[in-house]
Amino acid sequence: MAIFYNRATLSYNGNTTNSNITSGEIIEALSVTKSVLADSYAEGEQISYAVSIINSSSSDIANVSLTDNLGAYTFSETQTLVPLDYVTGSVFVFSSGTLQPTPTVTPGDSLTVSGLTVPANGNLLVIYSAVPNEFAPLDIGSTITNTVTVDAPAISSPLTALASLAISDSPALSITKTLTPLSVEENGRITYTFVIENTSAAPAEAADNLIITDTFDPILSDIAVTYNGTAWAETTNYTYSETTGEFATNAGQITVPAATMVQNPTTGEISVTPGTSTVVVSGNI
């Protein structure tokens, strides 16, 4: 809503007089809201956004453009970093619930969707996705706030809406398994190494109840197990059946430290060194 003022001037015989001041208001035809379709973000995980544009006027509003700054933030006096990358092909537009043809999409340091038409007394819903990149803050407590700007020739000034998303406070774990040696004689001894990596700033703690399970085939006998170089005891730390080959660590025995995040002071790029924990199982086949 915008208030405007006006008054007239009457001139006669070299004299002037002013009228009273009138005022009115312009009710904005468009309104915009933005929401994020996620509870939190993590490195490399796709985030979806929804922008709703409502037209309260009795006429269609054409040539509407939408620009998202993809979370741009000031890093230094001369540098702005953009922590989100647009996911190519992820833009979908619905006009009053009906899917529309793909609009003109211009990606880059910001995302622009143009050529939109918002129907009279209707709404337009624009959905798109982005992925945190190497400039996305990853420390616990970090947030990404991105702003969308909507503009059109028929409106008096651009409209903005923003959405903020906090980083996940949960560990982000992956596991790899390797075998040595790759070739072994019958009745020989082999070793399985399980490496768990955590790329989050949140550690995996005993209360997270990490459990590794595996069924060794061929079945191993006379196994020995270590965790981060320390010998483990059967029953106390793990269970194993030489009948079925089923192996499982006990809940609460494995923890994984948080990753280390370092931001380059020149480029602003954030590098991640995962926290790791290692379980090694060796036995005879």
pLDDT digits (tens, 9 = 90+) for 203-258: 999 999 999 999 999 999 999 999 999 999 999 999 999 999 999 999 999 999 99
CATH classification of 173-284, choosing from 3.40.50, 3.50.4, 1.10.287, 2.60.40? 2.60.40
What pLDDT shows up at residue 33? 97
Of the listed ranges 20-24, 182-186, 191-195, 247-251, the one predicted with least confidence:
20-24
Measured between alpha carbons, how far is residue 170 from residues 68, 77, 254 in Å? 28, 33, 16
What pLDDT shows up at residue 22? 85
Residue 25's pLDDT band (cuts 50, 70, 90):
low
Reduce the secondary structure of the chain to three states and give it as a string: CEEEEECCEEEECCEEEECCCEEEEECCCEEEEEEECCCCECCCCCEEEEEEEEECCCCCEEEEEEEECCCCEEEECCEEECCEEECCCCCEEEECCEECCCCEEECCCCEEEEEEEECCCCEEEEEEEEEECCCCCCCCCCEEEEEEEEECCCCCCCEEEEEEEEECCCCCEEEEEEEECCCCCCCCEEEEEEEEEECCCCCECHHHCECCEEECCCCCEEEEEEECCEECCECCCEEECCCCCEEEECCCCECECCCEEEECCCCCCEEEECEEEEEEEEEEC
Report residue 136 as tokens. 């996305």
Name, in order, each residue with C-beta under 8 angstroms of 215's C-beta and a sequence gap of 6 or more: 244, 245, 246, 247
Task: Give first-to-last CA distance, the chain, whole Å.
Answer: 78
What pLDDT shows up at residue 2? 58
Place of tokens 């060796």: 282
Place of tokens 């922590």: 83
Domain boundaries, the chain: 26-166, 173-284
pLDDT digits (tens, 9 = 90+) for 143-185: 999 999 999 999 989 999 999 999 999 999 999 999 999 988 8
Would you call the peptide bond into 158 cis, given omega within 30 degrees of 0 as the criterion?
no
Sign of CA dihedral 38, 42, 48, 50: positive
Residue 23's pLDDT band (cuts 50, 70, 90):
confident
Q: Do domains 26-166 and 173-284 have the same CATH topology?
A: yes
pLDDT digits (tens, 9 = 90+) for 33-73: 999 999 999 988 999 999 999 999 999 999 999 999 999 99
Average pLDDT of the residues of the chain: 94
pTM of the entire structure? Answer: 0.81
- pLDDT, average across residues 92-113: 95
CATH 2.60.40.740 fits 26-166, yes or no: yes
Cα Rg of the chain (Å, integer): 30
Q: Specify the amino acid at residue 8.
A: A
Residue 134's pLDDT band (cuts 50, 70, 90):
very high
